[in-house]
Copies of this chain bind each other. A is one copy, B any other.
Amino acid sequence: MSLTSSHPFDEALRLVPGADPGTFSGQPHPAYGNMVGPFGGITAAQLLQAVWLHPDRLGEPVALTVNFAAALRDAPFHIQARAARTNRSTQHWVLEMRQVGEDGAETTVITGSAVTAVRRGTWSSADAPRPDVPRPDSIARPEVPRSVRWIERYDMRPITGHMPMRWDGSESSSLTQLWVRDEPPRPLDFASLTALADVFFPRVWLRRAVRTPIGTVSITIYFHAGADELAATGTGYLLGQARSQAFFNGFFDQSAELWNEAGHLVATTHQIVYFKE
């Protein structure tokens, strides 16, 4: 049995090249549906995939920023990935996703940028050690809410900061720690790591136990591993840790880290999120 051949994540990543280099068409995958439109992590992964598939790509992803300019519809979209600058060992990408809206006109729904690079071996150090937590197989998998499809696509083992059981406005820490991997298991790569960076439920819900409307406005992911390190991670779990630093007049931040089971900090990620009240 192949773990990847018919995985819904690989289905979601299927982009069809257009006539112009760097143009692709694709669509949200129902298995990664959110309350409205698709899970933001899958959209970010699709944008990175456009870079990955580009025939002129140099090296591997180092940074990705995705700006969610408008709510995506569950309908086809177009991606353009343009290499704005190619240097000797780094390359700067400008990304855009467009989609036909309800009024029949195609508009920009996502803007973004990426940096790819040919990495060279250097002195390296993980200064943020992985927290000492119980192993994933020692933690029971909680009931998955059936209202949101994409959550079924992740095997999450919460350690601390799980979704509030009662929405009673009681304030608490915004910290979540959990083990997480694709469901069914799938070997880690840059695309799946990108989606995993957005796997944390909204910090403001945890912080306040109030389910206010939210939406990620911009996410940035820094990759601290190469393809070899991701491959070595395989289908193992990642330890994810997320918390907020500031909630101010309609927007809050989230900073998160993702370590593999061997303790390698494979990605750090930050986002700014709209919240309503």
Contact = CB atoms under 8 A, between A and B. Distances in A.
Interface of A: 62-63, 65, 67, 69-70, 84-85, 87, 90, 92, 94, 96, 107-109, 111-113, 115, 117, 119-128, 174, 207-208, 217-218, 220, 222, 224-226, 243-251, 253, 255, 257, 265, 268, 270, 272, 274-277
A122 B265 contact: no
Contact of A122 (B84, B111, B275): B275
A222 to B, nearest CB: 5
7 contacts: A85-B108, A90-B274, A94-B111, A115-B217, A117-B274, A123-B247, A123-B277
A6 B220 CA distance: 36
A128 B203 CA distance: 14
A175 to B, nearest CB: 9
Interface of A is mostly: strand
Given A119-B249, A127-B246, 12 more contacts: A67-B113, A69-B85, A85-B108, A85-B109, A113-B113, A119-B248, A127-B174, A128-B246, A224-B253, A245-B265, A246-B268, A255-B270
A111 B85 contact: yes
B270 A220 contact: yes
Nearest to A203: B127
Interface hub of A87, A96, A207, A268 (most chain B Cβ within 10 A): A268
A96 B84 contact: yes
B225 A245 contact: no
A124 B251 CA distance: 9
Contact of A90 (B109, B217, B249): B217
A220 B113 CA distance: 12
A63 B218 contact: yes
A97 to B, nearest CB: 11
Contacts of A255: 255, 268, 270
Count copies of this chain in the complex: 2
B208 A272 contact: no
Given A69-B84, A69-B92, A272-B63, A126 B277 contact: no
Given A85-B69, A127-B244, A127-B245, A253 B272 contact: no
A247 to B, nearest CB: 5
A48 to B, nearest CB: 14
Interface hub of A62, A119, A243, A244 (most chain B Cβ within 10 A): A62
A218 B64 CA distance: 9
A251 B62 contact: yes
A67 B92 CA distance: 8
A218 B65 contact: yes
